[in-house]
Structure 1
Amino acid sequence: MTWAPHVTVATIVERDNCFLMVYEESDGKKVYNQPAGHLDPDETLHEAAVRETLEETGWKVQLTGVVGVNLYTAPSNGITYFRTTFIAEALNHDANRPLDTGIIEAVWLTYEELLERKDQLRSPMTLQIIEDYRAGRRFPLNVVG
């Protein structure tokens, strides 16, 4: 048996005390998550984070740091996700850009609004990584390739 974790990226974008989130459909439920997705072949983690953020939110971002690298095994399917979460600055928004399939909308939510939606978060990692970020956990971009 081969164990193959899924390599994913996510991006924390904060502006005016709000976090850029995606409201999406996943496994038949509507949930909130950071802009996130899988690493594509021949792509760096940095490139994947910028691409996924644009595809899921319409926002072009500039990466500024890394919050952390986490493992999460989803109870719904048993898949283990190896996720690198980046910090980014919002540069500009293309409101006419179609969003990825499954994305209902991109939204800006305060930390308090996220807490109110705790039961609607895609995974416990969604809030945990924001709490790590709020606690000042930051690493330079070159900590990952």
Structure 2
Amino acid sequence: MTQRNADERPDVAAAVVVNEGRVLMVRRRVSEGRLSWQFPAGEVEPGEEREDAAVRETREETGLTVAAVKPLGERVHPKTGRLMSYTACEVVDGTAHVADTEELAELAWVAHAEIPQYVPYGLFEAVREYLDATLPS
């Protein structure tokens, strides 16, 4: 675990949820820089594991119950400067909808070929490799 100064913002955990050949993306009401569409994500709470935060944020934002499958990697996000962790998740129960109407404007299940329309600046390499291997082309 990296030591953090009190004035640093918490790490962010993102869930890469694949179901029926598509990946779940959400659009925030307020963009963070050029970021508009992204994976369900949020701040890791004190004492919380990154994978657990990704699962919790997905439930809070989309109403879906998911299970962490495996960590995909982490990086300092080039647009936000925040430490991001990415976790592959699978759907356990529920139907995705905008559950957190204050934070999200909409969501979409995105096919592999459509990802560049949602994320034109490209995906983190570890996430891209996972989706290339998991989603039908």
Same fold by TM-score, threshold 0.5 exceeded?
yes
SS in 2 for 1:80: coil
- What amino acid is aligned across from residue 15 of structure 2 in structure 1? T
Identical aligned residues as a percent: 23
Change (3 A) 1:100 1:16: same
Q: TM-score, normalised by structure 1?
A: 0.72
Partner of 1:7: 11
Q: TM-score, normalised by structure 2?
A: 0.76
Unaligned stretches of 5+ in structure 1? Answer: 137-145
Q: CA deviation at 1:106?
A: 2.4
Contact 1:72–1:125 (Cα < 8 Å) also in 2: no
Please say if 1:71 is aligned against 2:76: yes
Change (3 A) 1:66 1:30: closer
User: CA separation in 2, counterparts of 1:100 and 1:125?
Assistant: 27
CA-to-partner distance for each residue in 1:73-107, whole Å, 9 max, x for gaps?
Answer: 43xxxx52111100111111256773252201221
Partner of 1:48: 53
After TM superposition, the structure 1 = structure 2 runs for residues 15-94 of structure 1, keeping only pairs within 5 Å, are 15-25=19-29, 26-27=31-32, 31-74=36-79, 79-93=80-94
Count of aligned residue pairs for this structure pair: 129
Contact 1:68–1:86 (Cα < 8 Å) also in 2: yes
Contact 1:5–1:82 (Cα < 8 Å) also in 2: no
- What amino acid is aligned across from residue 108 of structure 1 in structure 2? W
Unaligned stretches of 5+ in structure 2? Answer: none
Root-mean-square deviation (CA), in Å? 3.0
SS in 2 for 1:101: coil
Q: CA deviation at 1:116?
A: 2.5
Change (3 A) 1:55 1:125: farther
